[in-house]
Amino acid sequence: MKYAEPFQKVLDYIEENLYEEIELNRLAFIAGYSKYHFLRVFKEVFYMTPSEYVRRRRITESVRDIADTGESISQIGYKHGFNSKENFTRAFKSEHHILPSDYRMADNSLKLLCRNKPEGAAFVLEPKIIELKPFSVTVYKSDEEDPTRFWNKYNCGGFSGKLSGGEARLDYGVSIWNFEKNKLDYYIGILTEYAKGDLSGTLQLKVEGGLYAIFDTPKADKYTFVNAIRKTWDYIYGEWTCQSEYVNLGDCDFETYKENSREFSEQIFIHVKEK
């Protein structure tokens, strides 16, 4: 995302002083705004307060240490600006809805607030258009507003293996628009034909066949993967749908990924028809 110059200066200052006490007055001064106006505009641009931004950046920076070092959770928490293991654990769970220890064991991809970098070339993806037959998936229904947090629970809980009986299978994240409640219902699971394990708490979904546009998310690593997925979804709904020769039916889309493949690329399937 590209920001106006005053906010780029603010972000640069935050990065240079990420583990220091950062005063709101100082950030407002750097941006050239009054404190009241700065706070209002910052929230409009970033959808969070400056203090929330700093907290999320510190948590993001802690993720590499949790995954890639043998340092204790307490050490990592102190290193990244939290005054106790309890405060760090509480902040991490509030952000990702899993414990730092859960993440260390699963080593799954998280939705991170990475340091802002200059934008590169324009983001463009060309989908494949194919005809799919109807199929069934055995799934858990999300109890989270943000699907990425439900993926965290699913991966850290080993639910894919529980469903399959221990075999590595392709996971399906299914988005179904609930027209009655005007909200997105989200589900994660595997193809019903492979669901031979513990099926408690699951249900079966029938996914309609028809014409689908298939997008491959850009290659990433475990730290940038979720953001690459989000960027692809934003591109699909923000640009491709408006410019393409197809209409998004908006009833049922899905994404597929095998966590233990460690490829950090997934496919997104959009149900469409020709204009």
The pLDDT tens digits for 141-198 are 999 999 999 999 999 999 999 999 999 899 999 999 888 888 899 999 999 999 999 9
Domain membership flag for residue 78? yes
Give residue 39's domain range: 5-106
Regarding whether 156 and 78 lie in a shared domain, the answer is no
The pLDDT value given to residue 259: 80
Residue 85 within any structural domain of the chain? yes
With tokens 């009833």, the residue in question is 251
Report field, pTM of the whole predicted structure over 0.85: yes
Residue 105's CB is within 10 A of a number of other CB atoms, namely 12
Can you spell out the DSSP letters for 96-125? HSS-HHHHHHH-------PPP----S----
Residue 117 lies in a domain: no
Is it the case that residue 122 has pLDDT exceeding 80?
Answer: no
CA angle, 162 as apex, 93 and 147 as ends, to 5°?
40
Cα–Cα distance measured from residue 210 to residue 47, given in angstroms and rounded to the nearest whole number: 37
Residue 219 has pLDDT above 90, yes or no: no
Domain count, the chain: 2
- In angstroms, rounded to a whole number, what is the distance separating the alpha carbons of residues 245 and 199? 40
Cα–Cα distance measured from residue 227 to residue 60, given in angstroms and rounded to the nearest whole number: 12
Residue 119 lies in a domain: no
Neighbours of 3 (CB within 10 A): 13
Binned at pLDDT 50, 70 and 90, residue 118 comes out as low
User: Could you tell me the CATH number of the domain that includes residue 201?
Assistant: 3.20.80.10
> In the prediction, which pLDDT does 120 show?
57
> Is there a single domain that holds both residue 167 and residue 51?
no
